[in-house]
Structure 1
Amino acid sequence: MARMFHGLQCPCCDPVVAKRREVIRAGLGGLAALAALPAAAQAQAVASGARTIRIRRVQTGESFEGIYWRDGRYDRDALRRLDVLFRDPSMDETTPMDPRLFDVLFTIARHVRSDEFYEVISGYRAPETNAARARQSRRVSRVSLHMSGMAADVRLPGTQSLGIARAAADLQIGGVGLYRRDGFVHLDCGPARRW
């Protein structure tokens, strides 16, 4: 649903702009995602021929298991299903997730040799949800990549949070935040950094 600001429709929420953005993202996203990976991870992703992911959303129990990338491109239907899965459940609002986030999750799962379902605690956050969380905790960034569909807070059963964080940091494929006390790891497809 398009948002209104000062009586005008938000251009980012316009269905025509959103569709155009989706087509461009699907077409160029594969190249950008592959270029963002280190050489060893690139070779691994190319050699695999297809990329699969297993995700379960903690709050809703919904899940996705399957191929999201094949034959050199992202699967649009899989991406739409993942957008819904990663939605902000408190606002029931979706956004196009950055497919590079799924590449991060795929690469880390392969690196730690896990075929378990990722448990997603937080995916996309509407600005209102993020602002509310930032008021509750100083650990929540007011400019979080969750609001751009570029981040997820996850657990991977059978793998300690520290192991996931180390793997992501070693691979240098995005942002990594270890929340050991809360039992999850923040992963994103932004610049490589850690906290």
Structure 2
Amino acid sequence: MKNIKEFSEKEIAIYEGALELVAKYGFHGTSMSLLTKEAKVSTGTVYHYFSSKDDLMKKMYCYYRSKVEAHVSSHLQGEKEYKQRFYSRWMTLYLYYTQHPKVLQFFEQFINSPYNQERSPHHFTGAYFTFLKEGVDKKYLKPAKPEIYEAMYMGSVIMASKINVFGSILLDEGDRELLINKLWYGMADV
């Protein structure tokens, strides 16, 4: 996967256009002809970067996943203590998803679609898995499979984001702190 800065303006326009269309029409309703209009690029340009709609959706998932991970990492500069990084990662991801609900919606659709064919237990390789594995390995977290912690950690941030974005409940700062504290004390080896 390319570094976020290595994408051309046209590739980014295609990803952003596809994100809008998937949010509005879902995967099946997002056609290449609609995409060319939304992204303001030619059909040839789309097929220059992507061999098919399937290829686009898979690369789009990688693009937005990298973008989210880069965003979260940029907000952790200088934080050394594991507990602080635990809290900051959660909050930064929560704020990203609530400020970019179409990305959250796309991820949810993608993960639960045939596009997501990587269902092997060995696919846990992202920044959050690595971070939680570090917590287990360095004994900041209670002994457990990092996959279990990733389900707890990511499940809580995704559900909290969905409640805030798509539900009728606004989680204020106190609610978020309570959630993160419960998560930390359930997982931490204190």
Q: Which has the higher strand share?
A: 1
Q: What TM-score, normalized by structure 1, do the two folds share?
A: 0.28
Q: Which has the higher helix share?
A: 2
Q: Which has the higher contact order (CA 8 A, sep 6+)?
A: 2
Q: What TM-score, normalized by structure 2, do the two folds share?
A: 0.29
